[in-house]
Amino acid sequence: MSDQLERYLDFRFGEEVHRRDFLRLGLTTAGMLALAACGGDNGAGTTSDNSAAGPDFKVGMVVPQSKTYAALGQSLHDGFLLYLDKVGGKAGGRKIVVMQGDEEDNLPAAQKATQALVEQQNVDMICGYVASPIADALCTQYLAPQKIPTLVMNAGVNALSRAHKSPYVYRTSFTNWQPTHPMGDYLNNQGVKKITLAYAKYGAGIETAASFKETFKGQIVAEVATDWPSTVDFSSAISKISAAGADVYSFYSGQDAINFFKQAKQVGLFDKIKFYGSGFAVEQDVLQAIPDAVPVGAVTGLHWAYGLDVKENNDFKTAFQKKYNRQADVFAVQGYDTAHVVVDALNAVKGKLDKGSPDPFMQAIAAVTFKSPRGDFKFDSNSHNPDQSIYVRELKKTSSGLVNTVLQTVPHVVDPGQ
């Protein structure tokens, strides 16, 4: 992990939860827990063939239900439930029940939600986390030390695949290094010589910028980092980007991306310069919210593309649209794949997971492989993170709406974590 990020994490702790108080906080927080969906219902009213003999398998899901990344949390949750539908809501002879807590966009809230699920609801495992500093802190200081099986569903913080790696924490999404690393080479090959880096100034944005610098050979003419999650007014960032005059490489997501693009559109910023970045900024959550303000022609890197034309993706997009009446996005894919991992692992151990001795279940998680909407899914054993393709995508306006289409596939992009 970079010194800069390490300092950032220390700052966040100092600001909100002092490290030594961490484990003492939030022990009586049942009130804020939002209990939600039950995986046993397949949406068609045909819950199961009642062969779920064991006790319910309780998944505690902590994702944002409010604030900057609320839409991401919704998609993660919805994707997860869609996969459970597919298997009748059970695995290893147990009905899978999902209990939710709100990550919001800050550590104290996410910590309370997590502790309530673990200490009051007695969940069997935790799935969740969208924001890097939150996932890093909770996995490293709360979940892993208690050997609570954890699947990180989004947050890309590199450390969880490197210095903070744990046998009890796997990730179904990406590292912040991953979607961007091939993009520097792509821009070099396109002859791009000058870039302005624009990003949210916290773990994910900082690590995205660092990854880009590893491969981009041109000049970084300006670096415009906006406070996160507090920035709503991007006008000064937009002025700086405009003054620098170079194309942009970026990290923004969720409501940040919406605010940034809306304000950039008002001054015609992307009429003059090109938008590159990690692909979250132009995912379907943003495209469906502000179709007229997004930079058509944007070229971004990500581990999935709406336009990826493989059967698993086409089936997934159709089922998601049918159930939720909106387009799927990368976060929905991650939720769907996380449930797939849980189901396959639980089947492999025949429903057996002993609290305090989760090693067989974790080994079953590590061994799961399948065909995902994103392509072949498998964990890299060094980084506990997917060994996956990164797609270089171009945002195109098509007869069926705005679609990220695949320009290039870079196979087996594996985080360098050892």
Q: Which residues bind ligand PHB (CB under 6 A)?
A: 69, 130-132, 154-157, 176, 203-204, 253, 280
Nearer to ligand PHB among residue 70 and residue 148 (C-beta): 70
Please compute Rg for the chain using Cα positions: 20
Smallest distance, Å, CB 179 to ligand PHB?
Answer: 9
| Cα separation, 238 vs 222, whole angstroms | 12
CB of 133 to ligand PHB, least distance (A): 7
* Least distance in angstroms from the C-beta of 44 to ligand PHB: 31
Kindly provide the b/e burial profile for residues 229-264, where b requires at least 16 CB atoms within 10 angstroms of the residue's own CB.
bebeebeebbeebeebebbbbbbbbbbbbbbbbebb
Shortest distance in whole angstroms from residue 132 CB to ligand PHB:
4
Report DSSP letters for 374-385, one per residue.
TEEEEEETTTTE
Residue 57 or 261 with smaller CB distance to ligand PHB: 261
What span, in angstroms and rounded, lies between the C-alpha atoms of 255 and 281?
Answer: 9
DSSP 351: T
CA distance 330 to 79: 10
Nearer to ligand PHB, 130 or 192 (CB): 130
Q: Nearer Cβ to ligand PHB, position 60 or 277? A: 277
Q: What's the one-letter identity of residue 391? A: Y
> 330, 353, 359: which is closest to 154 by C-alpha?
330
Shortest CB 232 distance to ligand PHB, Å? 17
Of 42 and 372, nearer to ligand PHB (C-beta) is 372
Please, which residue, 254 or 358, has the CB nearer to ligand PHB? 254
Q: In angstroms, what is the minimal distance from the CB of 363 to ligand PHB? A: 26
Residues in Cβ contact with 199 at an 8 Å cutoff, skipping those fewer than 6 apart: 205, 206, 208, 209, 224, 225, 226, 250, 251, 252
Nearer to ligand PHB among residue 42 and residue 111 (C-beta): 111
Collapse the DSSP code of 194 into the 3-class scheme (helix H, G, I; strand E, B; otherwise coil) and give the result.
Answer: strand
DSSP label of 236: H
Distance of closest approach, residue 202 Cβ to ligand PHB, in angstroms: 7
Q: What is the CB neighbour count within 10 angstroms for residue 10?
A: 11
DSSP 131-165: SHHHHHHHIIIIIGGGT--EEESS---GGGGTTT-
Q: Strand, helix or coil at 183?
A: helix
By beta-carbon proximity to ligand PHB, the closer residue of 115 and 208 is 208
- Which helix (H) or strand (E) segment holds residue 411: the answer is strand 401-413
Give 15 or 354: the residue with its C-beta nearer to ligand PHB.
15
Q: Taking a C-beta distance cutoff of 8 angstroms, is the pair 94, 351 a contact?
A: yes
Q: How far is the CB of 45 from ligand PHB (least distance, A)?
A: 34
Write down the least CB distance from residue 253 to ligand PHB, Å. Answer: 3
For residues 78 and 124, which CB has a smaller minimum distance to ligand PHB in the complex? 78
Q: How far is the CB of 128 from ligand PHB (least distance, A)?
A: 12
| Element holding 412 (H helix, E strand) | strand 401-413
